[in-house]
Amino acid sequence: MKTILETLDGGTQWLEKKGIEDARRNMQLLICHQLDISKIQLYTRFDQLLDETHLTPLREKLKLRGEGTPIQHLLGTVEFFRREFKTDKRALIPRPETEELVEIAIELANKKLSHPPFIGPPAPLTPIETEPPTHKTKLKILDMGCGSGVIGITLAAELGMPVEVTCADISDEALSLAKENTELLGIKNVTFLTSNLFSRVDSKYDLIIANLPYVPETDRPELAPELDHDPDLALYGGHDGLDIIKIFITQVTNHLNKDAQIALEIGIHQSSTVENLLKLAGFSDISTTQDLAGIPRFPIAKF
């Protein structure tokens, strides 16, 4: 038997020795998950004794964490845009910067929704008994390379019924996770498509969002061991990281409605190449928004 505080201190020290960043926070999360309690509850129960029914699974998880298994895989969930999503080895673990891409996408979608043809006719000058204006046409959004579905599902949830979201991915495994997330969150306005980029996409969209693989293969040796747990397919984009994004840019123009926009997530040092590719493909109003760390991360363009 050990108290929660002893377990927390002991586990933290062990993780620190293994070189794990934020060791104490990791240990807190593992204990909270094991006991199914919140962080606040954890602090109020430091003296509570834990027996082997809790200590044994905790030791197992601690060992895996020390060996580089990402904390998100051990917890099985990740918070993204205030919702809890399931995450596991079927898809890339959602990254915090991708929440910024979602914010950009929401802003772009809202601007479109406030302009025809997505809103109903203007209100009549003299009040008559009519239904309030309804959305005649739904805004069509595509999340290309959706992985666990966090982008598309969040957009569908935040924007609601005026939008129709398609989540596409080459990986059936990733799509199965995205479907589970949609069901868990009770989101209705999302459909799924297995497609190698646009190979099986026949529709056109008003907004296409894509967080495609963009990590250069040459970075692999220096990456944190946690990244070995993301599928290679979701992470690496060839020698310079841009193999998939280049093909995406050549294909996407056939799938955009008039005045449609795209918003992407890219890696460090890729923005000028991507902006040039977008210009060559016929896009206008091209700009790249920086992420919170100041890295040009989110190219936006209009077609």
| CA distance readout (Å), 192 to 117, 140, 152, 178, 180 | 25, 13, 10, 8, 11
Question: What are the C-alpha distances in Å from 94 to residues 39, 70, 133, 136?
Answer: 22, 12, 37, 34
How many residues in the chain? 303
Kindly tell me which of 164 and 265 has the beta carbon lying closer to ligand GLN. Answer: 265
Binders of ligand GLN among residues 227 to 256 (CB under 6 A) are 227, 235
Closer residue to ligand GLN, CB minimum distance, 96 or 116: 96
Check: CB of residue 263 under 8 Å from CB of residue 145. Answer: no
Closest CA to 140 of 249, 244, 285, 255: 255
Shortest separation between residue 296's beta carbon and ligand GLN, angstroms: 14
Stretch that binds ligand GLN, among 123-131, 159-167, 198-206, 208-216 (CB under 6 A): 208-216
d(CA 296, CA 105): 16
Residue from 213, 216, 296, 299 binding ligand GLN (CB under 6 A): 213
Q: Which stretch binds ligand GLN (CB under 6 A): 115-123, 175-183, 190-198, 210-218?
A: 210-218
Shorter beta-carbon distance to ligand GLN: residue 98 or 182: 98
Token pair recorded at residue 83: 């919702």
Q: How far is the CB of 91 from ligand GLN (least distance, A)?
A: 11
Please list, in sequence order, all residues whose beta carbon lies within 8 angstroms of the beta carbon of residue 271, skipping any fewer than 6 positions away.
Answer: 288, 296, 297, 299
Cα 230 from Cα 192, distance rounded (Å)? 21
150 near ligand GLN (CB under 6 A): no
Q: Lay out the site mask for ligand GLN across 84-103 (x = CB under 6 A, - = otherwise).
A: --------x--x--------
Quick one: which of 153, 215, 256, 301 contacts ligand GLN (CB under 6 A)?
215
Q: Cis bond leading into 127, ω under 30°?
A: no
Residue 285 beta carbon to ligand GLN: minimum distance, rounded to whole angstroms: 23
Which region among 13-21, 164-172, 213-221, 256-264 touches ligand GLN (by CB under 6 A)?
Answer: 213-221
Element at 260 (helix H, strand E): strand 256-264
By CB under 6 A, is residue 211 in contact with ligand GLN?
Answer: yes
Where residue 161 falls (left for φ over 0; alpha for ψ -120 to 50; beta otherwise) is alpha
The answer to whether residue 214 forms part of the interface with ligand GLN (CB under 6 A) is: yes
Shortest Cβ distance from residue 133 to ligand GLN (Å)? Answer: 38
Comparing CB distances to ligand GLN, the nearer of 54 and 90 is 90
Residues in contact with ligand GLN by CB under 6 A are: 92, 95, 211, 213-215, 227, 235, 265
